Amino acid sequence: MSALTEAHGLLLRRHLATCEANPEPGGDTSVDHLAWMCRTALEHLGSHPLDKTARWEGYVAAGLAFKGLADPAEERRIARAVLGHARREAPAASPALTEAHSDLYARYLTVARANAGVGGGGPTGTTALARTCRAALRRVSEHPADALSLRLGFVQGCLICHGLADVRAERDYSRPLFHAAYAQRGEIPATLERVARV
């Protein structure tokens, strides 16, 4: 397992510990669902594309931040410290992954702009999400896939927590984009669904 994959595993275990200390049953934005995402991502760590793991990690971070269980600024600082050294050797995303990320960042920028002011001026609000999308779009071809996906997952998670996006609709839209990119590498990861919901 690469140092970068192990670093993402460390961050996922950290999120899982927060989830387990704050159980909350429910649907796609509940703490129990976020815990399931962490456990599932950890179970498949190294066997699934790292960018997929990072998207899940970003979604979990958004859910925890939205619920006040994590401070986004502190989480960003920790992620930079943990991932920074390992990421030095990470290649930029492939053209197909870059295109998929560009498509989704543009999609979410449109949603954030159309809903300006939702969530206030904090890091989970649409103003901050629009800023994240714009910054990612400006330099999308320069970043490793895991970095693009970590931020994308955070944006997706925040929009879903605000009720501005739907998990199933976003999955149905984004899955073909990412699967096309993975197919170019000769791999399409298994679909992971949480069957039993409380």
Per-residue pLDDT, 194 = 64
Q: What is the mean pLDDT of residues 41-51?
A: 93
CA pair distance 24, 8, nearest whole angstrom: 24
Per-residue pLDDT, 195 = 57
Residue 196 has pLDDT above 80, yes or no: no
User: How many other C-beta atoms lie within 10 A of the C-beta of residue 117?
Assistant: 9
Q: What is the mean pLDDT of residues 162-188?
A: 92
Least confident among 69-83, 105-119, 121-135, 146-160? 69-83
Q: Would you place residue 87 in the very low, low, confident or very high pLDDT band (cuts 50, 70, 90)?
A: confident
- Average pLDDT of the chain is 92
Residue 129 has pLDDT above 90, yes or no: yes
Report pTM: 0.94
Q: What is the mean pLDDT of residues 47-75?
A: 95
The residues near 45 (Cβ < 8 Å, ≥ 6 apart) are 1, 5, 8, 9, 12, 53
Per-residue pLDDT, 168 = 94
User: How many other C-beta atoms lie within 10 A of the C-beta of residue 116?
Assistant: 10
